[in-house]
Structure 1
Amino acid sequence: MRVVVLGAGYAGLTLARRLESRLPDGVDLVVVDESDTHLVQHELHRVVRRPAVADAITVPLADVLSRATIHTSRVERLDRESRRIHLDDDTLEYDYAAICLGAETAFYDLSGVREYGLPLKRLDHARRLREDFLDTCDAGGRAVVGGAGLSGVQVAGELAALAADRDADVEVTVLERLESVAPAFPDAFQSAVRDALDDAGVTVHTGAQVTGATPDAVAVDGRTIPYHTFVWTGGIRGSTALAGDRPVVRGDLRLDAHTFAIGDAAKVVDADGEAVPASAAAAIREARTVATNLDRLVRADRGHDGGDAGFDPRLESFRFDVPGWIVSVGEDAVAKVGPKVLRGSPARAMKATVGAGHLSSVGAITQAAELAREELGHGGR
């Protein structure tokens, strides 16, 4: 029997590690990812300002997976009917699979945005953005960030802080088509994030619909905003392996009897009928539920625990319950824990703890200590 985990991001690595210890002996566990490392993506913006952080937020999969076979390859297509995964160098058949491929940047067919907007999903994106923005600092100009979700807020804060570090006369502008920053989050959190951006010197335009871009300007609601650096964090789409789709999954997180989809790869509606936000916190929690469900399905198929092979086990239903939200804004941070909203040193310490905690949970103790040292030692600098 073979269980395949597609993707080794937050959801995929969490799931694979749990399956390593839970699946019965003799079950083949395969992890497929186009990279041989796990990336702590919610800290990627830090690399723009402090390139050395890259070492703390990348973890070789071979260091944290022991039982699983790691297949470094790109997933081209998934044929669920035949239970066959088409890779760029091979084909895998599966008994059960979990799609944890994450999401890609959505450009919405806006003229010029894909060509000129820099995404921030991978290490090479962060390095390219740093080089581009340092040129902007030298020239004196404007950086425009399209999108004020958490990714857009974090990269805008980091760019403003980098400009301040270099005493550069650069304006950082954020454009958000909705009426608030961090629009998917609670009002008190939104308000604190807006204040943090204001204090960082970031110019924010809400209700600003980007309609296109040229090599030197962004089109917004019939006017243009010149730029030297243009970053696009305006939305997500599904993996190309799913034709850009993010399929809907509900309580048990299954697409079909043999296939699960979790993390940013899917649109998750939990057991209470609530839409779950695309976030690292959600992906990790979903992976825990799927690990339980896959273990039960595999054991049922194999007739473990004295049961009859082929019986239909009871599956866990996923309910999203997160204690709060946190985002960094350059040297500042905003955290919402229960009803309280925090900024400054307490929020920065919590942000460092979240990243280090995740690394510890996947067995990357050295990187966890390094990230905590980078974050707390620099105070965000």
Structure 2
Amino acid sequence: MGKAYKTLHPFGQGIMGVYHNVSNTSSDLVHYVRKIDLFTNDNQVIITCMLTEQVKKLITLEWFQIDVSFKRVKGEINEFEINTYDSDHHLILSLCRVFTNIFTAEGYHRLFSSLFKIIHEVSGQPIKFQHIHQQGVGCILADLDAAQAKGLGLALHDLDHEKDWQTHLTFVFESCLIHFERNLRNKPIDKTTKNLIRQIPNMSSKEQVYDLLQQIRDTNDEGIEDCQQLYVIASLNQYISKINPEIWRKSGTNTNNAEAAHAMDKSEVKRIQRSIKRKESYTRNNNLDTNDKLPSKKRKLSSSTSKTKSKKRQEDSASENEETALPKTNNNELLKLDIEERKMTLREREIKVRVAEAEARLIEAKAEALELENQKKKYDTAKDK
């Protein structure tokens, strides 16, 4: 197992393994892993993965969903994903995957900025937004994560300095109502205040929204500051938002497409596990059928001739039974091999995560050592002068 793993993945399946595979021109990852960014100030890792076809599809969209999965990868690194729904083919499409370990506003700012540059490099044209370029993306549906929203706003501000990051979000950012409700439920505020906040998405005019906001302020409840931010209100109510009403309607009200895309990927491991259990059960039952023999009745034979005939019949019967049992035994062996192979697949997936963590720490240590060496050289140079 260990030798086979080292042969297939000499540098593991973590960051170093990705570097190794990307540097190998015959690897399948060459045209998928677009960029690997390492930031020494906070040790952020950003690995952006997109096929050319995915990039070309992404730049044609009017809206898409973004989501982060905290369950598919063990350790500090998690997966950021861009998804959309293809109504023509009734399919959920995953258009980009970014693996990173820092989820601050600055971390998301780097992620989105790097992503925009990659899209430009691969497609030959920049990603466009309707409120900046009068064409392109008109809505991004996401969880109401403050750091993620600010990071996106800062990346948009880099494209258009005339608006601040919060104003940019009022033109493009829409919140998932399911996550909004979940976050609201966990807020330590009065139930009456929660019920008022819960009505924000349902208001049918600007005036109604502003009246409701005043009622919320009048409660003087702590923890209502988020609801007073313009981009938050705009992300929850289409009459405050500056997103095109038609695009707002098309984009939906939740990130279920993104959640479903994660779920479909995670279900692969579960299917293998269920298959292993079924086949193990089937093998055990077959072994019982093959090995458990019913006791046979013994009877006395009256003559030597009868004994000879009986012995011959027993030998013939044993020969037939052996021939009949052979395929069943072979079938059991094949099932056992199949089960072991699937178990090895699962163990490999577990191993690669542990190796990734170790290799990430190794890269961080090397980067730190290099930084110290550079500082020492600068100090020695200054000292000589």
Normalised to the residue count of structure 1, the TM-score between the two structures is 0.32
Q: Based on CA coordinates, which of the two structures has the bigger radius of gyration? A: 2
Instruction: Name the TM-score, length of structure 2 as normaliser.
Output: 0.32
Higher share in strand: 1
